[in-house]
A = this chain, B = another copy of it.
Amino acid sequence: MMSAARPPGHACETYVELKARLREISDLGSLQGLAGWDELTMMPSGEGAAEARGRALATLAGVIHAKSTDAELGALLRDAKPTEAKDVANVKRATEAYEKSTKVPSAMAKKQAELGSRGYQVWAKARAEDDFTSFAPVLKEWVALVREKCALVSPEKATYDASMDDYERGLTSARLSEIFTVVRNGVVPLIEEVYAKKTPTILAGKNNPLLGEFDVEKQAKLSERVAVALGFDMTKGRLDVSVHPFTGGCGPNDVRMTTRYKANDLAESLTGCIHETGHSLYEQGRCAEYAGQPVSEAHGMGVHESQSHLWERMVGLSEPFMHFLLSELKTEFPKDFADVTPEVLYAAFNCVKNPSVIRVESDEVTYPLHVILRTELEMGLLDGSIEVDQLPELWNEKMKKYLGVSISNNREGVLQDVHWSSGAFGYFPTYLIGAILACNIFNAAKRSIDSLEDKISRGEFAELREWLRVNVHERGSECDSADELMMLVTGKPLDAHEFVDYLRAKYVKLYDL
């Protein structure tokens, strides 16, 4: 047992002991990651299995909560005085987490875990059966629980700001509003111009080569090959199939990513796989020296999304990438792509969806509005201006208003995303933050790496991956906010104008606006 009053001069031993305790918490977290992955990919379908898993995860969450709120951990955090900058940041991140955790009672932590597991099952069934009313009670439980939690953890903050802090450290509604205003003002008119043109100029009168019938096993092979080419290390991870693609698992040496395949749509599986590969490269690239320590963890979800979006969009949807990809497509589907040029392939991958109904199937132009819609709704849920029962109607109204879409069922509307089933309010905005950061970071990489686009067209991704590892992945959670990290990576804070400029330049050319 350690006494609360420690003798002076033992800061170094204190820090060593602190790191051991933090690592134990991380070890148990890796088992949460495993159980969560298994639940979505491998677990048998019987209700008993799901119930038992929910109970086991709740018990484990209770154990982790107890370790994370142990008074001895608090004393170590107070007394450890490391001097290296990375260690200082490590203690800072651990202290923030400790302060958050100690404010959440064990019963509440257990309830969160249990509701997360149950919520997923209920959501999956409700979505399959297009039945929002069966999901609404779970969502009400989540709104109440998140409000209760935020009031305990950050009573000084608005509920939404407090909840968002769990996903993107240091991001506020005020900064978000600044950023989203720039995007909305730039993107809404762009969509109108694009919709007026209907199709990319080069595709006019042609078939889209990505639509057709594509053997799912061949798609899986192709996806795996592309992921490996980008740098996914199969000795440190797996690629499986799940209803909703995700990246999770047990840490940098055991990253589990999933994707899904549709026989009639090649684009979705490919872009989905490249997206998750971006997440996976971040995870596999984390700082080994600080393994198991908070500072080695990803900065936050916005920066995580910057990596998935960078690989998916800035690389995977770029003109140079089409040269590499086309040769891969010709290997797996020789007949379908015999007569396709890189230019046509580029246009096919970058058609703006009209209508744009499903977020994960949408394109980079309409995507921002999907995020803004969800963000507005969840802000309303948490500030009490919107009731859960109003969600389907409000969702459909906003889809009409922002994207001109009529939603005919909740399956394709309010039930399409998994996030709310785990109470992840404040997660959605990180997708748009990530898209903007991806653009900012890729522009910085282009300035640093000679002929990057030529290299991409030749399928040479190692230099970019290494640049990202050093500049983003290994930095982990050193910074207090994404803006601060961007100062180190690009020399300026997040720049939404650059994102809007990128979109406009690209789609003006594609659609001959």
Closest to A67 in B: B63
Residues of the B chain whose Cβ atoms lie less than 8 Å from the Cβ of A58 = 27
Interface 9-residue window, one of A116-124, A249-257, A337-345, A439-447: A249-257
A42-74 to B contact mask, C-beta < 8 Å, 1/0: 111110110111011011101100000000000
Number of interface residues of A (CB under 8 A): 38
Is A362 at the interface (CB under 8 A from chain B)? no
Contact status A254-B53, CB under 8 Å: yes
The answer to whether B49 touches A250 (Cβ under 8 A) is: yes
Stretch from A233-241, A313-321, A402-410 contacting the other chain: A233-241
| Contact status of A236 and B46, CB under 8 A, knowing A38-B38, A253-B51 | yes
Which residues on the B side are within 8 Å of A46 (C-beta)? 233, 235-236, 253-254
With a cutoff of 8 Å between Cβ atoms, the chain B residues found around residue A28 in the complex are: 56, 59-60, 63
Bound together, the chains give a CA A44 to CA B24 distance in angstroms of: 22
Closest B residue to A240 using CB positions: B42
A35 interface hit (Cβ, 8 Å) = yes
Residue contact B44 to A234, C-beta cutoff 8 Å: yes
Q: Is the interface of A mostly helix, strand, loop or mixed?
A: helix
**Residues on the B chain within 8 Å of A49, using CB:** 235-236, 250, 253-254
CA distance A28 to B253 in the complex (A): 23
Nearest-Cβ distance from residue A355 to partner chain B, whole angstroms: 38
Q: Does A158 contact B (CB under 8 A)?
A: no
Q: Which of A35, A56, A251 has most chain B Cβ within 10 Å?
A: A56
A277, chain B: closest CB distance, angstroms: 15
Q: Which residues of B contact A252 (CB under 8 A)?
A: 48
- Complex CA gap A35/B27 in Å reads 12
Is B56 touching A27 in the complex (CB atoms < 8 A)?
yes
Distance A59 CA – B250 CA, assembled complex (angstroms):
14
Q: For chain A residues 410-453, which have a beta carbon within 8 Å of chain B? A: none
Tell which of B35, B55, B63 touches A34, judged by Cβ atoms closer than 8 Å: B35
Contact assessment for A250 and B31 in the assembled complex, using a CB-CB cutoff below 8 Å: no
User: Are B51 and A27 neighbours in the complex by a CB distance under 8 Å?
Assistant: no
- Indicate which residue in B44, B60, B233 contacts A254 across the interface (CB closer than 8 Å): B44
In the assembled complex, A327 has its CB within 8 A of some CB on chain B: no
- Measured between C-beta atoms, what is the minimum distance from A44 to chain B in Å? 6
Q: Does A172 contact B (CB under 8 A)?
A: no
Q: Which residue of B lies closest to A66 (CB)?
A: B63
Residue positions of A touching B, CB distance < 8 A: 23-24, 27-28, 30-31, 34-35, 38, 42-46, 48-49, 51-53, 55-56, 58-60, 62-63, 233-238, 250-254, 291
Pairs A–B under 8 Å by Cβ, sample size 18: A27-B52, A27-B59, A27-B60, A34-B34, A34-B35, A43-B254, A44-B234, A44-B235, A44-B254, A45-B235, A46-B233, A46-B254, A48-B236, A48-B254, A52-B250, A52-B251, A53-B250, A53-B254
**New A-B pairs, 17, CB < 8 Å, besides A27-B56, A31-B56, A46-B253:** A24-B62, A27-B59, A28-B56, A30-B52, A30-B56, A31-B31, A34-B34, A34-B38, A42-B42, A44-B237, A44-B253, A44-B254, A46-B233, A46-B236, A46-B254, A49-B250, A53-B254
